[in-house]
Structure 1
Amino acid sequence: MVGYLPDGRETREVTVNPSTVVEEPEWPLAGRMGCTPDEVLDHLQRITGDERVVPRAHAHRPEAAEPVPPWIDALLDVVPTPAALLVPIRDPGGTIVEFRIDRCNGEAADLMGRAARRIIGRRLCEVFPGIGPSGLFEAYVKVMRTGEPVRLGPLTYQEPVNGVLCPVVLSVRARRVADGLLVSWQFHDDQARLAAHLRDVERMGRLGWAEWNLVTGKISWTGQLYEIFRGHAPRLPLPLDEIPDHVHPDDAPEARRALTALTELHRPQAFEFRVGERHVAATVEPVLDNLGRPIAFRGVMQDVTLRRRIEEQLARSQVELERHRVRLAEEMQRALLPDAHPELPGLRFAVRYHPAENTAQVGGDWYEATTLPDGRVLIVIGDASGHGLTAAARMAQLRNALLGVAFTGADPAAILRCLNRLVLHVQEQTATATAVVAHFDPATRRLTWARAGHPAPILVRDGRARRLRNDFGPLLGATEEADYRATTTALRPGDLVLLYTDGLVERRGGDLADPARALRRTVLGDDPAADPDRMLAAFDIGNPEDDTCVLAFQVVPEPC
């Protein structure tokens, strides 16, 4: 019977006897015995006692195997990527039908994670079943046949893992060494995933990265920067100093300033500019050598167009919401205010109310003018602290409480004491208010009034204006022990009394120190006998900072 004795590069055919086969497919027998192939045959003849054992060399094999260089093991140990030495397995005709993993380094492992010691000595296609379909086996055979080294990849390699076809990306290098094949491979999954993640970040974040290398003169841009500047510059990538030439003209000065500070002062810069319809936010910094000299500039640019549009829409929405809120406050305020031309016994009455020109400052100015059950006329003007709906709500509370107390017959000082307790104990802790409360008796023409931190009324008589005096009365909500006192002023037919809120005089250029003088200049003019409507029409009560309320009442002469 015939058997085969592989010994590296040489296969010798020996005839043993009809019932004996000597076969060593996994390791050269001569190597294991520590002798030459001829010595192996002599040994076989002695142990078999068969003189018919005759060596015959196959024509496709050289007579002696080329030994593996001793430095292979050292090389495998220092290679940082997986590497192995493969030994070809041939069929009787000399064709390579498989490779055996002769040795490998510690980094070598299969897709199942089996360590190097578990794959040494195994057939290549058993350890890596995707070698054939991927074309790598054919490439390895070609290297063995031609002696030409090969570099392949990155390429997709697939093999079943736990019953599922698992694709990976790898690169392979192969070179024939003696009668073996030295191969190394590197999985790119981590690098590929990282690169894909960076591409996704750039795409979803609309980010681009750039470097201007001052040593080599090379300009490196990632794809998003080309997208930003495409169609706005004749050639890309742009030198750093040319970027301001291709941005919106209004943004070019700021871009030049930032880049000058970057290149001359070597300071990181953050600035924003427009390119066409795009809004771009840029951050750039210098790269310095050990002597502090710039060797490169690096930067990140982000297309923030969508963000700016959202911010603009949000700003418009906020403005519209504020306008709506102010309109609601104004409507609430006007709904709570009484008729501007009430019929009051013994008086002609007029009022003008103007909201703040700055709509964010709509305040709590209010007034009241009505006839009480006993025939007296109740006249009130006030100002609740705050602005907008908060001030309007406070004003509503004060006005409703005022009417409830006034209709009990309480005098002005008592009314203010009740309002003070309301502000102190019902409204917010920081709430305050001011007011003037007055009673006019048509029968006696006497005006009884008290004030709480509010400007005093102004009496216009015989072409002269003077401020009425009452030194008592802190603002509402200041203290529990507030002392409010009423004072009485006798009026004459034709007398005119003005009450106003601080918005009339607390303005830029206003004469708050002497409001009587300011009002006299505005109201009297050349017609001291003007009625309340004509006098109030002469007022410029618009105030951008606060709302303004002015009311006037004039004592009507007795009918003849």
Structure 2
Amino acid sequence: MRTGARSARESFGEMLLGGLLDHAHALPPDHVGPIVAGTVALIGGREVRILLQDYGQRNLVPLAGDGLKDGEPLPIDGSEAGRCFLTARPVEVPSADGTRVHVPLLDGGDQAGVLAVTLDTIDDDRRLLRRIAGVLADVLQTKNGYTDLFFRTRRGEAMSVAAEIQWSLLPPLAMTMSRVAVAGVLEPAYDVAGDSFDYALNGDVLHLAMIDAMGHGLDAATMATVAIGAYRHARRTSVELSEIYLFMDRAIAEQFAPDHFVTAQMLRLDTGTGRLQWVNAGHPAPMLIRGHRVVRRLNSPTTLPVGFGGAQPQVSETVLEPGDRILCFTDGLIEEHQSGQEEFGEDQLIDWIHRLDRADRGVRAVARDLSHTLRRARGETTTDDATLVLVEWHG
């Protein structure tokens, strides 16, 4: 294309994006889809679908709205939109009437879903579509704070009150930055109660915690809420891991009966040097994955679960190599207490890590597939919450 024509096209694209950005702050949530569909139509796009990931991470569900194509949810596994979602890369599918383009909706490395559009030609529209998808992802994240529209779209089945509480606590399920990536999965998605996790990237330091409150239902969800709140409060005062543990311990002991407790695991990773510190209070030891193989468990001195008044814990430490991954998980991932069934066990978990963790797969896809594979191996049932978080240090 001639330079003048390219400049005109870029100016047109800037006008489209500028119009979208200028009105985004005052845009009602139910107008997001129609406005995006109208914007895409100006570059010749049709059959526009905004596909959002359901809470079970199994399907991509179309957002309803004027100008948007409706239809049934698409499975993440086995669909072109799902391939775009799992790889976080655009997927183009030629057809008789044009090209179906799938673009990931990325926000800070997390992925809300996929924007799907049919175009007659796409030579000069790829960059513009990526930018429209980027703006759309940011708008969805912002508007989600004060509407139920996107929650209802993503909810594939009835959700328990305890699960509603837990999902409201969670940070984005995934984060991908230049030095570090994080991905987590909670099962059963629509009935999780006591499991939760939290993370924050503050400068060069990644903070991460995973907790498992005893019991089930609202009691467990309430305890998990207090534990995560105490963790965030202590973390934000920039104290050491051992002091964070003591603060969480006091919070649980003061609010609940003496026999109530929360198992917890807290990590701190210096993303500049790879220095990893952790405290383990009752969880299975994390696994260090190097070269896509489990090379060892990150064992540490015994620390009492949060709420039992344990002494100030000893902080364990190691130094990661670029590309290392750390898998943290709750006991529900490897235990099965249903009558007549054996425990799944860490050996089977390691075997599946070796099958699923490959060089061409990011932590989000590996974490999701690992959780779903283990759930299928348990016969799609579990007597406990089963949660995992996978961290990769890029170096």
TM-score (norm 2): 0.53
Whether 1:435 and 2:264 are equivalent positions in the alignment is yes
Tell me the distance in 2 between the aligned counterparts of 1:476 and 1:334.
22
Residue equivalent to 1:534? 365
Which amino acid letter does the alignment assign opposite residue 334 of structure 2?
A: V
The Cα shift of 1:505 comes to: 0.5
Q: 1:547 aligns with which of 385, 391, 394?
A: 385
Does the Cα contact within 8 Å between 1:344 and 1:371 map onto a contact in 2?
no
State how far apart, in whole Å, the 2-side matches of 1:471 and 1:449 are.
10
> Quick one: structure 1 residues 458 and 353, their matched pair in 2 at CA, closer, same or farther if it must change by over 3 Å?
same
Could you say which residue in structure 2 is the equivalent of 1:509?
Answer: 342
Q: Is the 8 A contact 1:356 1:544 kept in 2?
A: no
CA distance in 1, matches of 2:374, 2:385: 9
| 1:295-343 deviation line (CA, Å, top 9, x unaligned) | xxxxxxxxxxxxxxxxxxxxxxxxxxxx98x621111110111111234
Using the TM superposition, give the Cα deviation of residue 387 of structure 1 relative to its aligned residue in structure 2, in angstroms: 1.0
Whether the aligned pair in 2 keeps the contact of 1:344 and 1:370 (CA below 8 Å) is no
Give the structure 2 partner of residue 525 of structure 1. Answer: 355
Q: CA deviation at 1:467?
A: 0.8
Distance in 1 between residues matched to 2:193 and 2:335, nearest whole Å: 14
Instruction: Note the C-alpha offset of 1:476.
Output: 1.4
Q: Which runs of 5+ in 2 are unaligned?
A: 1-156, 376-380
* Identical-residue share of aligned pairs (%): 27
The CA deviation at 1:420 is: 1.2
Question: Which consecutive segments of 4 or more residues in structure 1 shift more than 4 A?
Answer: none
Tell me which residue corresponds to 2:171.
338
The separation in 2 between residues aligned to 1:345 and 1:528, in whole angstroms, is: 19
How many residues are paired up? 226
Match in the other structure for 1:381: 210
Q: Counterpart of 2:277 in 1: which secondary structure? A: strand
Query: Partner letter of residue 536 of structure 1?
Result: A
Partner of 1:446: 275
Matching of residues 386-465 of structure 1 within 5 Å: 386-465=215-294
Secondary structure in structure 2 of the residue aligned to 1:423: helix
Q: Which amino acid aligns with 1:486?
A: V
1:347 corresponds to which of 170, 176, 180: 180
How far, CA to CA, are the matches of 1:451 and 1:548 in structure 2?
17
**8 Å CA contact 1:365, 1:382 repeated in 2:** yes
CA distance 1:344–1:406, shift in 2 (3 Å):
farther
Superposition RMSD in Å:
2.2
Confirm whether residue 327 of structure 1 aligns to residue 160 of structure 2. Answer: yes
Cα 1:344–1:412 change in 2 (3 A) is farther
Distance in structure 1 (CA, Å) of the matches to 2:330 and 2:357? 24
2: CA distance between counterparts of 1:398 and 1:482? 18
Query: C-alpha offsets along residues 518-557 of structure 1, whole Å, 9 cap, x if unaligned?
Result: 3220111275424312322332343421111111011114
CA contact (8 A) 1:446 1:491 kept: yes
From 285, 304, 311, the equivalent of 1:482 is 311
Once the two structures are superposed, what CA deviation does each residue of 1:145-168 show, in whole Å capped at 9, x if it has no partner?
A: xxxxxxxxxxxxxxxxxxxxxxxx
Tell me if structure 1 keeps the 8 A contact 2:332–2:382.
no
Partner Cα separation in structure 2 for residue 531 and residue 509 of structure 1 = 31
| Matched ranges for 1:159-308 at <5 A | none
The separation in 1 between residues aligned to 2:178 and 2:220, in whole angstroms, is: 31
> Equivalent residues in 2 for 1:89-100 (5 A)?
none
Relative to 1, partners in 2 of residues 1:511 and 1:410: Cα closer, same or farther, differing over 3 Å?
A: same
Residues 523 and 538 in structure 1, CA contact (< 8 A), matched pair in contact too: no
Alpha-carbon distance in 2 for matches of 1:364, 1:552 = 19
Higher relative contact order structure (alpha carbons within 8 Å, sequence separation ≥ 6): 2
Taking the aligned partners of 1:482 and 1:532, their CA distance within structure 2 comes to: 35
1:486/1:499 CA distance change after superposition, 3 Å? same
For 2:103, the equivalent position in structure 1 comes to none
Q: CA deviation at 1:473?
A: 0.8
TM-score when normalising by structure 1: 0.38
Structure 1 residue ranges without an equivalent (≥5): 1-322
- Pick closer, same or farther for the CA change 1:486–1:345 going to 2, 3 Å: farther
Q: In the alignment, residue 323 of structure 2 is paired with which amino acid?
A: G
What secondary structure is seen at the aligned counterpart in 2 of 1:443? Answer: coil
- Please say if residues 182 and 390 of structure 2, whose CA atoms lie closer than 8 Å, have aligned partners that are also in contact: yes
Mapping for residues 108-119 of structure 1, pairs under 5 Å:
none
- 1:499 to partner: Cα distance: 0.6
Q: What CA deviation, in whole Å up to 9, does each residue of 1:377-421 have, x standing for no partner?
A: 111111011211111111111111101101111122211111112
Map Cα deviations across residues 354-399 of structure 1 (whole Å, 9 max, x no partner). Answer: 1278x5xx43100011113x53111111101121111111111111
